[in-house]
Amino acid sequence: MADNVDSISPDLARWMEQQHVFFVATAPLATTGHVNCSPKGMDAFRVLGPRDVAYIDLTGSGAETIAHLNENGRIVFMFCAFDGAPKIVRLHGNGRALLPGTNSFEDLSDRFPNYAGTRAIVTATITRVSQSCGYAVPRLDFVDDRNTLEKWAAKKGADGLERYRRQKNVLSIDSLPALPRD
């Protein structure tokens, strides 16, 4: 049932950008480390080219994705059709986290909304694109994006977010370095 394609076509790019949620998975090299899978929403994902994608990474309670990318770069994205025709798309690749204040971050930041909690832009070069049926994925109705994270980040303010990141986002749950301490 799975079908591999050479790259992200314009039609596939439009389909992925229309999905209201996608998932990002990474893992450390150590077999004792924790695999991470994070749901992402809001207006966060962009196809940059036939083999290049990016998403805006918002401040959260952990920084597993960034830590794993710092260690080994492996990443997979998964999109599921929850309405319309059934479909699952997986993008395997090598990624990195671009931090605010770097030229790489600034070059891409205008492609995304200016969210208060932005802590990085994650980019990936895609090495494998696969599509499968999604016949067992339930149909769900989209109601609305949640604004809870954006409100939380705005209430904390820039200084509060920096303190929070220093407390919660410097190391992964497996003690891998994620964000800088300063």
**Does a structural domain hold residue 111?**
yes
- How far apart (Å, rounded) are the C-alpha atoms in residues 24 and 79? 9
Task: Determine the structural domain holding residue 9 and report its residue range.
Answer: 3-134+145-168
- 40 bridge partner residues: 22
**Does a structural domain hold residue 182?**
no
**Does a structural domain hold residue 64?**
yes
Average pLDDT, the chain: 96
**Does a structural domain hold residue 176?**
no
For 31-76, how does the pLDDT look when each residue is reduced to its tens digit (9 = 90+)?
Answer: 999 999 999 999 999 999 999 999 999 999 999 999 999 999 999 9
Total domains in the chain come to 1
Contact present, 41 and 49 (Cβ < 8 Å) = no
**Does a structural domain hold residue 89?**
yes
**Does a structural domain hold residue 180?**
no
| pTM across the whole model | 0.96
For 137-175, how does the pLDDT look when each residue is reduced to its tens digit (9 = 90+)?
Answer: 999 999 999 999 999 999 999 999 999 999 999 999 999
Q: Which residue do the tokens 């994620």 mark?
A: 178
Structure tokens belonging to residue 142: 């989209």
Task: Indicate which CATH number applies to the domain containing 25.
Answer: 2.30.110.10
